[in-house]
A = this chain, B = another copy of it.
Amino acid sequence: MKFIHISDLHLGKQLHGYSLIEDQKHVLRQIIAEMEKEEPDGLLIAGDVYDKAVPSAEAVGLLDDFLTEVTVRCPNTEVYLIGGNHDGPRRLEFAGRILEKHRLHLAGSAPDREHPDIVCHRLADEFGEVNIYLLPFLRASHVRELFPEQDILTCQDAYKALIEREKIDPEKRNVLVAHQFFTYGANGPVRCESESFSAGGLDAADVRTIFGGEEALFDYVALGHLHAPQSVGRKYIRYSGSPLKYSVSESGQRKSMTVVELGEKGNVALREIPFLPLRDVRLLEGTLARLTDPATVKNGNAEDYVSVILTDEEELYDPRSALEQCYPNLLEWRVENSRTRHAVEDMVLPDMNLSPIELFEEFYRMMQGCGLSEEEEAYLRDVFDAVEEKEN
């Protein structure tokens, strides 16, 4: 059984004020072209379909066109789409019960009181059944209501409780589609700026705890949330990454969709199909003279989105105009030379790898001379949960 796994489309997203609609149309076309070639049994879209809970009309049109075209051009592919933290759950499910009949399975909302179970679909091939579990982005505070007898404090607790209750048969072939921040022990994943920061810290869930110890519950875990394609601890637990570079910090990444082939139980093969963007996101560093030299410009696609670091030591006259003449999609520019470096060294910056809650704890320790009590920490977690929820 074959799947194509994508995630984090962020339809409607802008990059430094530039609309990416044409870039997104381009990669969506590529996805359909690859699907026509590969003829997968399922397309797994692991959340953050839209960039905003209330997407623009243009973004709604883009998803509509994409899904409609998939139903027409890929008549043997089921589409499994879940909501991410950027998506509005109820909006994403519009007409879902009808679209179900057209092989479009939309799961916007994580389990709640009305629908407490993980949504599960079944496909079959010559090796038997495959169960496909859909678990949209969730918050510990919501899942807590479903397990009043348990102590659900973190996302990890929430995942553990939900998955244990499903009594998933490890003898069967099982696939999970989820949108969350997963770690493997102390090994943090590759992060980048365009992901929501609050996803880290206490929201992280350890895959070893959740997906079974020695015995794996799932044959493939299709994840969304992180924008770099990567596996988490085990090969088959994987973020496909976003189809486009959604921040300059992603400029070094190679974006891809993941093709997953399940043979008989225990037999999983993965490969990547690189995305071919309309315009790349590049980081350029050098003197203004070198970067605006026609030879340098011709070296790449001048239409790419570029972030520029100028290393000139002398004052420059209107470098933005000079850069924009060569690179019409200039995202940003700054000067880094011996003077600016000194200025930076004098500043003490907070560690930006910390989650908001960890930053607060650091601040509290600085002010009070001691850390937070367990009770205070739990209370704080609820506050941050509520704030984040309101923002989303």
Interface, chain A (partner B; CB < 8 A): 54, 57-58, 60-61, 63-64, 67-68, 71, 88-91, 93-99, 101-102, 104
Contacts and interface: CB of A to CB of B under 8 A. Distances in A.
A203 B104 CA distance: 42
Prevailing SS type, chain A contact patch? helix
State the oligomeric state as a number of copies.
2
16 contacts: A58-B90, A60-B90, A61-B90, A63-B94, A64-B93, A64-B94, A64-B95, A64-B97, A67-B95, A68-B98, A71-B98, A94-B95, A95-B98, A98-B99, A98-B104, A101-B102
Nearest to A69: B97
Given A64-B93, A98-B102, A98-B104, 9 more contacts: A54-B54, A57-B89, A57-B91, A60-B90, A64-B96, A67-B98, A94-B94, A95-B98, A98-B99
A169 B96 CA distance: 39
A214 to B, nearest CB: 42
Contacts of A57: 88-91
Contacts of A90: 57-58, 60-61
A54 B53 CA distance: 11
A234 B126 CA distance: 66
Nearest to A64: B94
Nearest to A71: B98
